Amino acid sequence: MIGMRERLARAIPFLIVLAVGVWLWHVADGFVSARPGYAGPGLWPKAVLILLLLAALVGAVQSFARAPEEGLGALIEQASRAVGREGELEADLQLEFGDPATRQPLWAWAGIALMLGYVAVIPWIGFTIATFFLMFGIILAGGYPRPGVAAAIAAGGAFAFFFIFQRIAYVSLPMGAGPFKDLTIALMAVIGVR
């Protein structure tokens, strides 16, 4: 009986999320679409709710399936076994997270600068080109050694985002100015958006 209570106590947060998710689904069902036959305002909330409900369901099932002994007792047992092996644990942590002496915080600052630059230039060069440069810069800042492949990945990713926002989500994106606007209009024609 104690084991079942522990399992239920672990599952309660997931069950609460499930209940809230079902209620939000009911709320999203009440959204009225202005244009019948098109994706309505409830589409994206429901897409997110599907992921939320699945995650909560998996969490609840795992909470019930996991034996009660696997909680804090297992953690204490592992910690007591580790006493005297601090050197091995430190080596494991360095393998997993990197040696603090070799970390390069400049790359993190480069990523932040890329994001700020993205926000600053998107009105002038448009969503697609700005997204290409953002993805390309992040890939290179992450240490990827082949710029040609990085450019191809960034181009594919930028076009995929453009396609999803324009053709599936019907989101109006910044087109840019001058030749960048012409390029955006040409891309819209390629994917059939007027």
**Percent of the residues in the chain that have a pLDDT greater than 70, as a whole number:** 73
d(CA 161, CA 149): 18
What integer best gives the mean pLDDT of the chain? 80
Identify the pLDDT of residue 29: 79
- Mean per-residue pLDDT, 142-164: 91
More confident call, 39 vs 164: 164
pLDDT tens for 76-134 read: 556 656 566 666 666 666 666 555 555 567 777 888 888 899 999 999 999 999 999 99
pTM over 0.85: no
- Per-residue CA distances from 79 to 6, 25, 82, 85 (Å): 22, 43, 5, 10
- Mean per-residue pLDDT, 5-16: 84
Q: Is the pLDDT of residue 48 over 90?
A: no
Identify the pLDDT of residue 132: 95
Q: Is the pLDDT of residue 189 over 70?
A: yes
Identify the pLDDT of residue 159: 93
Q: Which among 127, 104, 119 is positioned nearest to 174, based on CA atoms?
A: 127
Q: Which long-range contacts (C-beta less than 8 Å, at least 24 apart) are formed by 112-116?
A: 114/138, 114/141
- Mean per-residue pLDDT, 11-38: 81
More confident call, 39 vs 118: 118
Identify the pLDDT of residue 47: 81
More confident call, 35 vs 110: 110
Identify the pLDDT of residue 107: 74
More confident call, 143 vs 1: 143
